[in-house]
Amino acid sequence: MRIESVTPIFIDRYLFVEITTDTGIVGLGESGAWGFQEGTAATITRFAEYLIGKDPLLIEHHWQYLYRWTHFGGAVVMGALSAVDIALWDITGKHLDAPVHALLGGKVRDRARVYYHVFGETTDELVDGIADARRQGYTAVGHLTPFTDALRTEPYFETHVQKIRGAVDAVARYREAAGTEVDLCIEIHRRLSPFEAVQLGNAIEQYTPLFMEDPVLPDNIDEMGYVASKTTVPIATGERYTSLWEFQMLLARGGAQLVRPDVCIVGGITGARKVAALAEALHIGVVPHNPLSPVSTAACLQIAATAPNFVIQEFPNDSWGEKGDMRPEPSALVSGAAEHDGEGFVTINDLPGIGVALQPGAAERYPYRKREILTRLHVDGSVVDQ
């Protein structure tokens, strides 16, 4: 079997890759470098120069070759490599008539617990989102910020005490709305400094969140380790890390109790599986990051299916970034999309490969929507993280 073509495909806000072979088998992958889709597509096209004519079954070799042939890396390159890796696993599964999880050692679970995405510009909207999740049968909510998802066009200002006490009060309301039937995955989106993160973490311990995600910018791993050492709230991080080696440094410094590899930028199924195994050695849980399409979800579910230390899967629902920015219906985008079973889980399917394929005409129905370069400013004019 030989690779015949490697094609980046823009659909809606997503970037996919389709790899065709001389046997007629087609593999599908997705990139997670969503801020730089054009650059990633160009990198995929560059990788095609190497891949065309090669045996698609030599996944690890191609991964090593493309990672190591030159000294550049980062999210764009790794987004491209991840998309290619997922597509090669998809091809391999279809070639062997087996789901990818069967090739990774077989399923250790039949369904994956998921968390519901909650967005809101006010605390009331976020509380409503939790109630909505409960009604639908979810047992966890995530993307749940204690600071609200205010518009990025609104200048920001709060005093320190407003910022911290307001966040604590919001988490109290979330717990009240969630009861003990729903876990809270608190998303900080890198808004805090290390001392703020420690104050907030200690103040919300009483509400028993499942985790506090990205309390500080992930660039300095020692700072994440400092925060993790000062609070009993589990720290979840890793969505921006693009390699196994960054995760090794994070865990060596005690920076996380839960790791969040993004299958679509950490090196695909190959990379994420290694991160999961690294974490397993330390009894650290895995919560695959997944803000993307049902293709990413399908790739994540191969990790969920096979990693003994899998904890919960991010399962995006209806919006993206700003509230109300609706996604295409999963079933309109792909066949085989994972569906919530009404009990807080999705079933892991046993279809060959990753189990999903683009619907015919999806690219025409959902033309590419470039993400605007927009971030929030402080009232003093400086950039804030949100």
| Catalytic residue IDs | 189, 289
Smallest separation (angstroms) from Mg ion to the CB of 142: 8
Q: What is the DSSP letter of 253?
A: T
Task: Return the residues of window 203-242 that contact Mg ion according to CB under 5 A.
Answer: 239
Instruction: Tell me the C-alpha to C-alpha distance, in Å, between residue 52 and each of 62, 113, 138, 205, 262.
Output: 11, 38, 44, 53, 26
Q: Which residues of 114-150 are buried (b: 16+ CB within 10 A; e: fewer)?
A: bbbbbbbeebeebbebbeebbeeebbbbbbbbbbbbb
| Pairing assessment for the beta strands 14-21 and 26-30 based on DSSP bridges | antiparallel
| Nearest CB to Mg ion, comparing residues 85 and 239 | 239
Place of tokens 């072979």: 21
- CA dist., res. 147 & res. 142, Å (int): 13
Nearer to Mg ion, 117 or 134 (CB): 117
Strand (E) or helix (H) holding 315 = strand 313-315
Kindly tell me the burial class for residue 72, based on how many C-beta atoms sit within 10 Å of its own C-beta (0-12, 13-18, 19 or more).
Answer: exposed
Rounded to the nearest angstrom, the gap between the alpha carbon of residue 355 and the centroid of all alpha carbons in its chain is 18
Cβ 213 to Mg ion shortest distance, Å:
5
- The H-assigned helical ranges of the chain are 37-51, 59-68, 75-96, 100-103, 123-136, 160-178, 194-204, 221-230, 244-252, 268-280, 294-306, 330-333, 362-365
Q: Minimal distance in Å, beta carbon 228 to Mg ion?
A: 16
Which residue, 95 or 190, is less far from Mg ion as judged by CB? 190
Query: Which residue, 117 or 163, has its beta carbon nearer to Mg ion?
Result: 117
| CA dist 194 → 142, 259, 290, 379 (Å) | 22, 19, 25, 22
Query: Cα–Cα distance between 321 and 227 in angstroms, integer?
Result: 26
Contact, 308 vs 105, CB < 8 A?
no
In the bound state with Mg ion, the residue whose beta carbon lies nearer, of 196 and 239, is 239
Contact 126, 174 (CB under 8 A): yes
- Smallest separation (angstroms) from Mg ion to the CB of 212: 11
CB of 314 to Mg ion, least distance (A): 8
> What kind and span of H or E run contains 8?
strand 3-11
Task: Give CA–CA dist 145/143, Å, rounded.
Answer: 6
Residue 355 CB, shortest distance to Mg ion, in Å, is 25
> Taking the complex as a whole, how short is the minimal distance between the CB of residue 66 and Mg ion, in angstroms?
27
Q: Which is nearer to Mg ion, 51 or 212 (CB)?
A: 212
Read off the amino acid at residue 259.
Answer: V
Q: Which residue has the tokens 């090739």?
A: 103
Can you read off the two tokens belonging to residue 164?
């911290």
Q: At closest approach, how far in Å is the CB of 214 from Mg ion?
A: 5
Binding positions for Mg ion, rule: CB under 5 A: 239
